Structure formats: structure tokens, C-alpha cells
Structure 1
Amino acid sequence: MTQTRGRWPANPVLYEIYPRSFRDTTGSGEGDLAGVLQGLDHVASLGVDGIWLAPFYESPMVDGGYDITDHCAVDPRFGTLDDFDAIVERAHTLDLAVCIDLVFNHTSDRHPWFRKSIAGEDGYEDWYVWHDPKPDGSPPNNWISFFGEPAWTWNPVRRQYYLRQFLSCQPSLDLRHPAVQDAHEKIVQFWRDRGVDGFRFDAVTSYLFDNSMGDNPPASETVQARNATDESNPYSYQDHLNDMLPGDGAAFAERLRDWAGPDAWLIGEINSGNRSVELAAEFTAPDRLDAGYTVDLMVNEVTPHKVADLVARKEEHGCGLAFVLSCHDQPRGVSRAGDGSPRDAKLLALLSVALPGPLIVWQGEELGQKQANLPFEAIHDPFDRLFWPVHPGRDGARVPFPWQAREPGHGFTDGTPWLPMEGLAEVALDQQDADGPLAFWREALALRRKLDPQSEVEADGDLLHIRRGAHRIALNLGQDALPCDYGDPQLATAPLQEGTLPARTGVVWRD
């Protein structure tokens, strides 16, 4: 369960920064670490506890920086290690803890480790997951990657397939290999020595697999119902029993804890929908991670029943579940779970801060930044391009942060933004008012610090009731005004009407 560690309070609020889209100081059109440094005062002003810095490592950037060639080097497009050190120093001055992404499941296919493994260099032969073909030349089994393609890629030099659970340029490491574990431990220590306070482990549920290499069975109706099956992606047609998390999978988190130390705050991406909350519980058992976050509220409809069920499962399993409505990998919540309006942005903000557990806030969420509708020719992300036009898109959520209303770079860049920024003037930082999402987020996060950690959550039709000690929160997630008895409101997302709660409105009061 989540506890106080080092600079981290219990149940912290993390602000996710995607450096490429945060602030550009060179005119390249891409954000950089110097831009992150410039923006830290804004982040601190929100009242969050720390930052989660998405990858800034050396990378070909095929998968937005999650294809890494050196885990201990800053990609020159983002700056230098000195720039990173300046971020840590300034963040600590502002009382912000620093959490960075660690991508241990795979590397880029351009990583020196993989080149050596292909060549069969002594000591590196088995750093990655290699397997012979079946007698007919086909892949070893029926596993499917997250990107909907076969999870095996042929290498003509070794005359073997290698496992890749994402893109073919992201070969999967064998994390059971002692030398791979030693290399990862050194990476953790490298960043801890530079003052990093915690880590977000990318794709942590993909680390281990069943060595029997058996086929995955079809997804049962129960699995499909729980997963909100995405019929456009064949990955969701399987129950991923063999390619993810055999019996010792979650226990691997104990190694992560040992490497990071007792004062580091650790969170994992639980990207298996089969048993999302249950897996989060396993990963956050004693001496493992502090929290895991799932995609439940980012892919399912956000209804009182769904929210209450998620919290009930969290409490049942006693897990350190972190809540998140938006991140760099999913469409922006205000557009997906709302209509994109400031009204819905504030409603979802109140929902976020009212939930019991750690919270992740995605950059721009505090402005009510909407999902961008990008044309195909503007899209960089390979996942978006593979599934065009079905998916609303990851790049649409990564459109750069609008610091100013002016065109064309909105204060993000003096050059040409790497993704189009049209239509963001109404949510630019310098356009916010006293009744806008930014002011509301600050007030709501200040209130969150006063809420009791214990909670009672109940769904009543379109009304969601949350009790946090003496504080009571009611959220009308429907389209019609509903009867609601509340006392003297401490905070409301919209003007109230006595005895009723207007549509898409939330209110907080004390007993």
C-alpha cells in the first residue's frame, strides 16, 4: 500500500510532463529539458507533489522515446545531463519530487545490446527473447503484440524470431537473465545518484512470460466484458495468460524495490486489462511498488457505476491503485469522457481529486486542453497510423502545451510545432480566468490535502456520492438535473440550484 517515502507524501499527485510537447527553448519545434525547467514554476503553482518525466533518453523516436538506445544518456534533441540535473535541483527547491520513466521491458533495435545479441557476441547471446521457428517456418506461437501485429519478428542473421510486444523495432529483453538484471540495476542507481526520487515503470506487466511459450487462448466473455474489448485491435481477442505475468511476474517488483531503495516512490503501468485491479494489488504488495495505474477510466465509459466498481475492487484487494483520466498514451479525458467544455473539465477535475489514492495529472489537463483532431499526414505515432482512422489517437493527446494564445506556436515554440496546435487559443495558459479549469484545479488540489484517506463511494443512477471523512462530494455525471441535498457548499464546478444538482456538475460540502 502507498506510504510516505522520502520526499513523497502518502497518495501523491504526479504531474506528467512529456518533454517533446512541453516547451521548446531552441526553436526546433520540439520541447526540451530547458523548457521543462522553465515550466516548473507553473507546475508547482498547481499544488502537486511531484513530476513524472516521460522519456528523454537517446532514442530514434520511432515510438515517441519509448524505443531507447542508451538509458543513461539524454538525447541531444532534449539537451544534456546538466539540463536534467538543473531540473532536479529546481524541482527540489520548489518542493517537487522527481519521478522518471524507466523502460525495462524492451530497447530499440538500434541499441548496442541488441546488435551484439544478433551477432551472438559472447555474453549477449540471450539478452533478448529469441526462439526457433516451427518446422514450417512460422512463429513459435500465436502471441499478438499490443500494436495488433504478430509478437514475433524474423531475424535473418540468427535465423530466429525475436519477441516484440510492441513495435518490431522494440525487441523484448529477457528479464530473467542475470546480466540483464545487473544492467537494469546499474541504470536505477545511475539516476538515483543524480537525485531522482522515484520511477514509473513502463509496461511492467509485460516483463515476464511463461517459458513454455504456449498459445494464448481466446478471450472469454468475462475477460471481454471486463476489458471493454477493442474489436479493432486483434490483441484484445486473446486472454493473455502465457505472454504476460506467469506466477513470478508480480514478484519481480521486489527486485525493482531492492534496486531503487526504501525512499523511492515507485509506480507501474498495469497494461493488462485481464485483471487490472487485481494485478495492481499483486504489484503493490509489501516490498514491491507503491502504486499501479490501470486504463479502466481511460478506455471505459466514466459512469458512477464504473467508478464505484473500480474503487470497490481497489478496497477489496487492498491495492495501491493510482487514478488517472488522461495520459500520453490515451485520448484526453475531457474529450473522451466529456464534451470538451470547461464545464466538463472542472467536473472531471473534481472527480479526480475526490478518488482515494495517488493521482496522475496529464500536462494540459489543468487547462481543459481537448483532444486534437489531427489529419493523417500530421501524425507521427506508429500506433495511430496503424489503426487510422478508428482510434482517436495518441498524438492527438500529445499536441504541445499552449503557454500563450498567440499563433502559431502558442508560446510553446518560435519554430514550427512538431504537431499542429490550431484551435488551442481558448485554453492557453494566459487566457485562463477565475472561473476556468486552471483556477478550479488549484482550488480542488488544495482541498484534496484536507480529505480523509478513507472513503465511501456509492453510485445512484447518474449520481456518484463520495464520502471522505467529514467531506462529502456529489457528482452528477448525467445530462439532467437531479435531486440532491447538500449543505453549505465548499466547492462547486458550476452554479448550483437549491435542492438539485445541475447536469454535469459536482459539489463538495462538510457534514
Structure 2
Amino acid sequence: MNKKWWKEAVVYQIYPRSFNDSNQDGIGDLRGIIEKIDYLDQLGVDAIWLNPVYKSPNDDNGYDISDYKAIMDEFGTMEDLEELMQVLDEHNIKLIMDLVLNHSSDEHHWFQKSRQSKDNPYRDYYIWRDGKNGGPPNNWQSFFGGSAWKYDQQTEQYYLHLFSEKQPDLNWENQELRAKIYEIINWWLEKGVDGFRLDVINLISKDQDFPDGKKEGLRGHEYFANGPRVHEFIQEMAAKTYNKYQAMTVGETPFVDKDEALNFVKAERKEFSMIIPFEHLEFDSKEGWAQISDWKLKELKDLMSDWQFKLQENNGWTSLYFCNHDQPRIVSRYGDDGQYRRESAKMLGTMLHTLRGTPFIYQGEEIGMTNINFDSLADFDDIETRAKIREEQAKGNLSQAEILEIANYRTRDNARTPMPWNEEEYAGFSETKPWLKLNSNYPEINVEKELAASDSIFKYYQKLIALRKKYPVFAYGKYKLLLAEHPDIYAYQRLGSKNNLLVLLNFSSQAAVFDLRTELSVNQAELLLTNYQSENKFSLKGSLKPYEARVYLL
């Protein structure tokens, strides 16, 4: 058994801007996080992943970094971060920083120098090309809509930006640039951080012929995702930086399936501890952004099982998550944010904490936060959502009301509404109006109420985390799918050296009947956890209540 601290850990993701405001300017900050470390300790998490806190003009909420070794003024100072690290250390909680290495801000001094002239020493730190036929060098699209190329008048060339035009892509083909990136990573490791989440890291290698994209979806992605030198670059980076430490590394990798994932996470390849997969959160998006797709549980079971089998058979690892700063709230997507909000939030949490991989909790997930319901298209802050709204308005196929409904379901703002700590004005997040509207249901869904309730989602998450610490089978057990064809129940075992787990999850708002007699031959089991008040005697045949979850020790 290849034991690692990050395989046994539970990670809590903090979006600093929306977590807790200590200086009452409406924006969360580092001292606000320090004030809430006892809360995280009470939950029982082992590490926090901090979204970017570096100096940034905030075009994409910190994912446009202008100085990798300085802290954004809104969040505090480097001294505040050092104090946070010290307090985390006292609580035995590790710190994972978010690093953006595919692109920088256009306000970074590298880019400011790069755009001055074609022969500037920094020119080749970014990707500059001549136009073609009076337009951009090729037809690649930005993730935020429109062309991925921006014409720069000063030198009469285009630069590549796969995201906002204020996020120019770094040129990893340049060895000098790579050396500077590695120096930044080592600087943070020497400072004492315990690892990194690496933003869209599989986009760093581009096909140097820059051909036109032909595949469906985001045009050009076949030439800039998982490019020709991506593994060479990552292995070089790993060898020169984090592999010298006991660091946890999490690669965010869009356009990666289970087979490609192995190239990033097989232990012997020494690239990343794990990656962030996307496929399990795309079932409701099969028809594109503007249409919410129906999906069946069997699709999710098949996909999760394929990943589980592929990784365990090939000495690979993955992150387990439903929510993050880029994803709408899962209880509003795959659960029921109405009548069965508590039950479905607990059931979905049970799934993540009982599969093979490292579970990630996104702030507010542990209290069952739901999607927002903004009244106006003007309320959206997210740069991606605003681009999608403009796109749909230009097409003219949907009414404003229809666009608003879809935007409320899809927007990344769902994850970014301020954390509701209590039912007071501004939800205890701040004493002044927050940077983004609060979710209107914060008087009902907030931390204070969760901590007081005996059957709270928070207390259920505490139990899940405690069980993971008590039984190694949660981290290291092998995965075995059961009831593969059942339309409503996701059932599986985790097979360990000392114990086995049986997990039963009902994804339906109706009761669901199961019969495991042909798949299992056990007579007794201990009920470790359920999201209903239950004295269930173990049976291989029975029924689950709406969104019921049960975890048995066999």
C-alpha cells in the first residue's frame, strides 16, 4: 500500500473574497480566514486550498496574476499570509496554494516589457504571432468567448490569450521563462506551503504550427489542450521543484479523460499527486450552455466506475469533488435544493467521501448552500457568465427571462456568493454590503443554524471525516461496483485489508428498492452512517428512502 498524507486527507477549498471579511470593506480577506480556523478545525479537515491571493488587477478574480510573490491589497499583506500559515500549523492543517502558470496578467512586468518591442528580451515569454488574411493567426477560441488572439497596436502583432484578453498565455517553449517559474514555485515551498493546485496546467504546451481548430466544442482545443510537450514540461517542473518536497499537487486538467489522466497521475511518472477531472460534472451540459440536459444515474455510475477502476489498476489517484469556485452548487444540480435539501446534500457528500480518491469540500458545501436566484442579468459578476449572456443575446433565440433562468443555474457566481455565517444583515460575512450579492436564503441556510441543529449537514460531514480517519479502507480500499443497472441507486463496496465498506446511495426523490442477494453473501454488518434517523437491521434486500445514504462496515 503506497501511503501518502494527501491520500488520507480531506481538503477544504476557500474562496478568500467570499469567505469572511475582517476589515469591513465588503471583501473577504486573509485575516478573515484566520478568524475562522477554529471552525475548520471543528469540521476536521486536514488541508485548505486557497484560491489565488497574489497581486492582481482582478479581471478574473485573481486568476490574472501581476506579481507571484506579493499579496493582493484587498486580501491583506504577506505578513497576514505568514500568520495564517502559522495558525494553520498550530491546528495541524496544511496549506495548498493555487498557482496560475498557463498565463499571467497583462499588468505583470514580464508582459509590460514583452509588448514594448519585437526584440525585447521578454518578448518570447509570451506567444506573439503575425495575423493572417487581415485577421488573427488562427480560429482558436477563448474560454470566455470570441477569438483567443488580441491585436496589439504597438508592435502590430497578435498575442494569445486562451482566457480574458488581460490574461496573455505564457510561452513555455522558452527555457528562461520556465526557469523563472520554477524559481517562484521553490520560493513558495521554502516559505512553507504544503503544495499547489495548478490552474489549467495541461494547456501549457501548444502545437507550434498553430493550425486552425476543426473539432467540435471550443475551437482549437485539440492543439492547445494536452499539447505535444505537456508531459515533458510537467516532469521537468516536478523534478526541479515540488518533487523534492512531500508536497501535494493537484493539476486542473480540462479535456482529460480517464486514459489521458493516467499520464498525469501514475505514481511512476512523478507528475502530479492527482488531477481535477471534469467529465462527471458535464451531464447536465451535453447540449451546451444554453440548454440544461436531462441525465440518468447510470451515466454517472458508469463514468465514476470507469475512472475508479482505471486509476486503481494503474497506481493512479484523483481528487473527489462536486463543488468548487467554477461550479454551480451540486445540491441544486444533482440533488434536490427544496424538500430534500438536507438529505440530498448529505447523500452527495457521502458519495465523495467513500470513493477512492482525496475528497474536497468547497466552502458552504458542508452547510448545503444552494444556487442563487438573481433577479437581473446586471447582477452577475462572473466574466464567463457575462460573455455567455452576450453570446445568447446576440443569437436572439432566447428571451431575457430564459437567459436569466439558465444563467442562474450555470453561473460561477453560484459558488462565489459570500459565506453565510448567521442570519444578521450581510450574513455575518461583513458589516457592509458585500462585493457580490448574498444568496437570498441565507437567513435559513447559515453556519450558526447548522452548528445548532442536531441533524445538520455540518455534523454529518464531521462524521464522514472522522470515519475516514478511523478506517484506512476509506482511503485505500479497492472499489467494486454493485447493482450496475439500477436506475436510482448507486451501490458499491470498498475492499480493504481489514474491513470492507458497503455504500448505498439513492439518487431519487422516491423510495428505491434494492436486492443484493445475488452480489453479496454477508449476513451482518455495522451501520456506520446514515442520513436518516434509523435503526435499520442489516439486510441484503430492502428499500432506501428519498436521497437516503447508508454506509456499512462489513
Give the TM-score of the pair, scaled to structure 1: 0.91
Partner SS for 2:159: strand
Partner SS for 2:73: coil
RMSD (Å), alpha carbons? 1.9
2:436 corresponds to: 419
Structure 1 residue aligned with 2:456, among 436, 446, 450?
A: 436
Partner AA of 1:291 in structure 2: M
Separation of aligned partners in 1, 2:514 and 2:127: 57
1:102/1:202 contact within 8 Å kept: yes
Separation of aligned partners in 1, 2:205 and 2:308: 24
Separation of aligned partners in 1, 2:322 and 2:261: 17
Structure 1 residue aligned with 2:18, among 18, 21, 24?
A: 21
462-471 or 157-166: which moved more? Answer: 462-471
User: Closer, same or farther in 2 for the Cα pair 1:349/1:304, shift >3 Å?
Assistant: farther
User: Closer, same or farther in 2 for the Cα pair 1:165/1:287, shift >3 Å?
Assistant: same
1:3/1:290 contact within 8 Å kept: no
1:27-42 pair list within 5 angstroms: 27-42=24-39
The answer on 1:492 being equivalent to 2:492 is no
1:181 corresponds to: 178
Structure 2 residue aligned with 1:321, among 299, 318, 323?
A: 318
1:229 corresponds to: none
Separation of aligned partners in 1, 2:273 and 2:417: 30
Shift of the alpha carbon at 1:2? Answer: 7.8
Separation of aligned partners in 2, 1:93 and 1:296: 37
Q: Which has the higher helix share?
A: 2
Instruction: Encode CA deviations 1:404-433: one digit per residue, 9 max, x unaligned.
Output: 121x21111011111111321212111011
2:308/2:479 contact within 8 Å kept: no
Separation of aligned partners in 2, 1:362 and 1:493: 20
2:206/2:228 contact within 8 Å kept: no
Structure 2 residue aligned with 1:155, among 133, 142, 152?
A: 152
Shift of the alpha carbon at 1:382? Answer: 1.1
1:475 corresponds to: 505
487-496 or 362-371: which moved more? Answer: 487-496
Partner AA of 1:425 in structure 2: P
Separation of aligned partners in 2, 1:237 and 1:129: 19
Shift of the alpha carbon at 1:48? Answer: 1.7
1:63-212 pair list within 5 angstroms: 63-120=60-117, 122-134=120-132, 136-212=133-209
Partner SS for 1:241: helix
Separation of aligned partners in 2, 1:277 and 1:409: 42
1:306 corresponds to: 300
2:202/2:253 contact within 8 Å kept: yes
Separation of aligned partners in 1, 2:220 and 2:336: 33
Partner SS for 1:475: strand
The answer on 1:402 being equivalent to 2:426 is no
Shift of the alpha carbon at 1:482? Answer: 1.9
Partner AA of 1:131 in structure 2: R
The answer on 1:278 being equivalent to 2:243 is no
Shift of the alpha carbon at 1:296? Answer: 2.2
Instruction: Encode CA deviations 1:353-373: one digit per residue, 9 max, x unaligned.
Output: 111101211000001011112
1:2/1:290 contact within 8 Å kept: no
Separation of aligned partners in 2, 1:309 and 1:203: 22
The answer on 1:510 being equivalent to 2:528 is no
2:6/2:248 contact within 8 Å kept: no
Task: Give the gaps of 5 or more residues in structure 1.
Answer: 220-235
Shift of the alpha carbon at 1:11? Answer: 4.3
Shift of the alpha carbon at 1:10? Answer: 2.1
Separation of aligned partners in 2, 1:21 and 1:271: 25
1:104/1:202 contact within 8 Å kept: yes
Separation of aligned partners in 1, 2:307 and 2:347: 23
1:264 corresponds to: 247
140-149 or 51-60: which moved more? Answer: 140-149
Figure out how many residues of one structure are paired with residues of the other and give that number: 488
Structure 1 residue aligned with 2:479, among 448, 455, 467?
A: 455
Shift of the alpha carbon at 1:398? Answer: 0.4
User: Closer, same or farther in 2 for the Cα pair 1:182/1:302, shift >3 Å?
Assistant: farther
Partner SS for 2:323: coil
Displacement over 6 Å in runs of 4+: none
Partner AA of 2:182 in structure 1: E
1:476/1:506 contact within 8 Å kept: yes
Partner AA of 2:134 in structure 1: G
Separation of aligned partners in 2, 1:302 and 1:447: 30
Instruction: Encode CA deviations 1:10-66: one digit per residue, 9 max, x unaligned.
Output: 242211001100100111000000011111121122222200000111111110110
Give the TM-score of the pair, scaled to structure 2: 0.84
2:14/2:362 contact within 8 Å kept: yes
User: Closer, same or farther in 2 for the Cα pair 1:186/1:143, shift >3 Å?
Assistant: same
Between the aligned residues of both structures, percent identity stands at 30
